[in-house]
Structure 1
Amino acid sequence: MAELVQEYLDQIRAEHLGNTGGALADYIPELARVDPSALGLSLSLADGYIYESGDFTTEFTIQSVSKPFTYALALDRIGQQAVDAKIGVEPSGEAFNEISVDKATDRPKNPMINAGAIAAVSLIPGTSADDRFAQLHEFYSAFAGRRLGVDHDVYASEKATGSRNRAIAYMLQSFGVLDGDPEEILDVYFRQCAIKVTSTDLARMAATLARGGVEPRSGRRVTSAAVVQRTLSVMVTCGMYDAAGDWVSAVGMPAKSGVGGGITAVLPGQLGIGVYSPLLDDKGHSVRGVEVCRSMSASLGLHFLSVTRESRSTIRAAYDARPGVRVYELHGDLLFAGTEQVLRNIEREYDDFDVAILEVSRVDDIDATARRMLAGMREFLNVAGREGLLVDPDDTLRVAGVPNSTARVFGTLDDALLAAESAVAARRNSDG
């Protein structure tokens, strides 16, 4: 039944594939050579399960999507108080590469703009540029769950054309924000931006943030929950630069974009998203990436202000009520992430039952996406040679305009069990 979610992602990608608006980031010569048609989309659930669509294996440079992870590393290494002394957390309302600091404090306004990101690099304790970069590289790789590569051509290209970032670094030094050699700090910054990722890497890195700093597949804690909380807070308000307000209103997830075409977005406690499409708008965000995230948020109900009770959405109980009959009792609020997990659990256990009964009488609330996903459960079970019954006395799962979406619905679990026993007997008689 994971095919239901896969169909959603493929459909969303297809809807935006024809959008050719925007332009490549030609101020970094190497970035102007990438394929402008690429569009990769990946979604990682909090348990590490991945959905992928399109050009999800295409590697590109992380660019400014690196900034929240460098900020997190600085917090992890020297603590929030020391970081706050050098970098603010207020939205700038300016472009990402603006040559400016806070007028009252002489600090960068936040760690998501270039000035703040360069300052964050300087806060990582290290004996050399190589030492600092090695820490960054290891930290990013731990979030992604694999060793990430570096695009040395892009690094060289950025270093050769990075005059604006040099101006920012020397300005910060003049204000006492940078204690080290600006050229050494910039070298690390250019290298961090040239780390190679895929949309799936970004989804996994986001899922590690969603899990409070624990990489889902390995269970390894990469950083503390307190560091993640501060990092996500700044991503909400500053991650999309001077388009942050529009992003939060329309998409509603902490996020970060990069001029390499990547966007990563986090739904805390639930999932991470990675998108790659290199054509950029005038604010430096991926045109199709932004639109894809808007569609995913709307279609799957991912806005973080609409999912405050998702932690209550769970399988209350799963048990074998009769030979060949498995019951799944649900309760709480059913939204996308919880419903996906329910369907995937049922799919994993195909071999353990002839009939599955979904009992939803204790469900408090359910959104349209979850209804559509659960409405397709019986069809997928039938294809697999199984039967699906529903205990739904209040018509919670009825989908308007969808024929037979509530077929085989019962008012009580006892009535569903009687029907299930008959279905099991009929199936076994036909087999025998």
Structure 2
Amino acid sequence: MALLVQEYLDRIRAEHADAADGALADYIPELARVDPAGFGVSLSSSDGFVYESGDAGVEFTIQSISKAFTYALALDRIGEVAVDARIGVEPSGEAFNEISVDETTRMPKNPMINAGAIAAVSLIPAGSADERFALIHDFYSACAGRRLDLDVDVYESEKATGSRNRAIAYMLQSFGVLDDDPDEVLDVYYRQCSLRVTTTDLARMAATLARGGSNPMTGRRVTTSAVVKRTLSVMVTCGMYDAAGDWVSAVGMPAKSGVGGGIVAVLPGQLGIGVYSPLLDDKGNSVRGVRLCRSLSEQLGLHFLAVSRESRAAMRAVYEPLEGVRVYETHGDLSFCGAEQVVRTVDREMRGFDVVILDVSRVDDIDDAARGLLSGMSKILRAQGKTGYVVDPGGIMTDTEAESDGVRFRTVDDAVAAASSR
């Protein structure tokens, strides 16, 4: 039944596949050589299950998405107080590569612009540039669940054309923000931006943040929930540069973009999303990536301000009142994420029953995406020779296939009686 979610993902990606506006990041020569048609998306559930669509296996450089993770690493290694003494958390309202600091504090305004990201690199405690990069590389890889590779060509291209970043670094040194040699700090910064990822890597990195710092694939705790909380907070307000306001109101997920064409987005407690399309808008964000994320949020109900009760949603109990009859009892507010958990659980356990009873009598609310998934589950059960009943006394699933088939019951006992008489 994972095909149900896959169909959603493929359809939403297809809606934006023909968009051709935007431009490659040609100020970095190597980035101007990538295929402008590349377009992929991956979605990781909080338990590590990944859906992929399009060019999900294509590698590209992480670029500014790295800023969120180096900031998290700095918080993890030296603590919030020490990081706050060098980097602010306010939106800048400026271009990501602006040569500027806060007029009062003389510090970078936030860690998601180049000035703040360069400062964050300098805060990773290490005895040398190589040791500092190794710590960053290890941290990113732990979040992704695999060892990431360095794109040497992109690294050398960025280093050769990084005059603006050198100006920023030396400015920071003059204000006492950088204690180390600016060129050594920049070398690490260029290397971290040049690590290669796929959309699936980004989705898993996002899922690690969604789970409070624990990688759902490996089970490894990479950082603390306190670090994740601060990192996601800054991503909400600053992660999409000076388009952050539009992003939060329309998409509603903590996110970070990169000029390599990637976007990472996090729905806390539930999902991690990775998107790739290298054609950028004038703010440096992926054109198709932003549009796709907006459609995902709208059609699947992923805005983080719309799921405040999700923690008590989805599965409440699973039990067998009769041999071959299994009841899946749900509760709370059933959105896309909760329904995805239900249909994937039913799919995994399908060999163990002949009749499935879905009890939604304790569900307070259900959105259209969840209805669509459960309708699809009913069709797949029939195709597999199984029978599906719904206990829905309030009629909240009136648009589902199960309702039109006349298999809705008021109580579980009524559904069990019907199953026993088959």
- TM-score class, shorter-chain normalisation, is over 0.9
Residues 328, 358 of structure 2: 8 Å contact kept: yes
Per the TM alignment, residue 314 of structure 1 is displaced from its structure 2 partner at its CA by 2.6
Residues 375, 402 of structure 2: 8 Å contact kept: no
CA distance in 2, matches of 1:315, 1:6: 21
Per the TM alignment, residue 59 of structure 1 is displaced from its structure 2 partner at its CA by 0.1
Rate the CA distance shift 1:406–1:175 in 2: closer, same or farther, 3 A: farther
Residues 398, 406 of structure 1: 8 Å contact kept: no
Rate the CA distance shift 1:333–1:35 in 2: closer, same or farther, 3 A: same
Aligned ranges 1:6-405 → 2 under 5 Å: 6-399=6-399, 405=404
Aligned position for 2:2: 2
Amino acid at match of 1:141: S
CA distance in 2, matches of 1:398, 1:165: 57
Residues 74, 83 of structure 1: 8 Å contact kept: yes
Residues 242, 283 of structure 1: 8 Å contact kept: yes
Rate the CA distance shift 1:329–1:19 in 2: closer, same or farther, 3 A: same
Task: Describe the superposition over 1:173-230 as per-residue Cα deviations: whole angstroms up to 9, x where unpaired.
Answer: 0000000000000000000000000000000000000000000012110000000000
Aligned position for 1:414: 413
CA distance in 2, matches of 1:158, 1:422: 71
Q: Which region of structure 1 is more displaced relative to structure 2, 413-422 or 316-325?
A: 413-422
Task: Describe the superposition over 1:13-51 as per-residue Cα deviations: whole angstroms up to 9, x where unpaired.
Answer: 111000000000000000000000010100000000000
TM normalised by structure 1 equals: 0.96
Residues 329, 359 of structure 2: 8 Å contact kept: yes
The residue matched to 1:76 in structure 2 has which SS? helix
Amino acid at match of 1:79: G
Amino acid at match of 2:293: C
Residues 155, 190 of structure 1: 8 Å contact kept: yes
The residue matched to 1:333 in structure 2 has which SS? strand
CA distance in 2, matches of 1:79, 1:398: 51
CA distance in 2, matches of 1:405, 1:81: 59
Residues 43, 273 of structure 2: 8 Å contact kept: yes
CA distance in 2, matches of 1:132, 1:384: 54
Q: Where does the alignment leave 5 or more consecutive residues of structure 2 unmatched?
A: none
TM normalised by structure 2 equals: 0.99
Per the TM alignment, residue 422 of structure 1 is displaced from its structure 2 partner at its CA by 2.6
Residues 210, 268 of structure 2: 8 Å contact kept: yes
Between the two proteins, the alignment pairs up a number of residues equal to 422
Aligned position for 1:426: none
CA distance in 2, matches of 1:278, 1:350: 41
Task: Describe the superposition over 1:123-182 as per-residue Cα deviations: whole angstroms up to 9, x where unpaired.
Answer: 001111100000000000000000000100000000000000000000000000000000
Rate the CA distance shift 1:221–1:118 in 2: closer, same or farther, 3 A: same
CA distance in 1, matches of 2:404, 2:288: 33
CA distance in 2, matches of 1:406, 1:232: 44
Amino acid at match of 1:221: R
CA distance in 2, matches of 1:277, 1:405: 41
CA distance in 1, matches of 2:334, 2:311: 10
Residues 378, 402 of structure 2: 8 Å contact kept: no
Residues 375, 405 of structure 1: 8 Å contact kept: no
CA distance in 1, matches of 2:404, 2:283: 44
Task: Describe the superposition over 1:231-286 as per-residue Cα deviations: whole angstroms up to 9, x where unpaired.
Answer: 00000000001000000000000000000000000000001000000000000000
Task: Describe the superposition over 1:409-432 as per-residue Cα deviations: whole angstroms up to 9, x where unpaired.
Answer: 111212211211233xxxxxxxxx
CA distance in 1, matches of 2:369, 2:321: 29
The residue matched to 1:376 in structure 2 has which SS? helix
Q: Which region of structure 1 is more displaced relative to structure 2, 253-262 or 382-391?
A: 382-391
Amino acid at match of 1:19: A
Task: Describe the superposition over 1:343-374 as per-residue Cα deviations: whole angstroms up to 9, x where unpaired.
Answer: 11111111100000001111111111111111
Per the TM alignment, residue 405 of structure 1 is displaced from its structure 2 partner at its CA by 4.5
Moved runs in structure 1, 4+ residues, more than 3 A?
402-407
Per the TM alignment, residue 406 of structure 1 is displaced from its structure 2 partner at its CA by 5.6
Aligned position for 1:427: none
CA RMSD of aligned residues (A): 1.0
Residues 77, 125 of structure 1: 8 Å contact kept: yes
Per the TM alignment, residue 403 of structure 1 is displaced from its structure 2 partner at its CA by 9.0
The residue matched to 1:146 in structure 2 has which SS? coil
CA distance in 1, matches of 2:67, 2:384: 46
Per the TM alignment, residue 404 of structure 1 is displaced from its structure 2 partner at its CA by 5.4
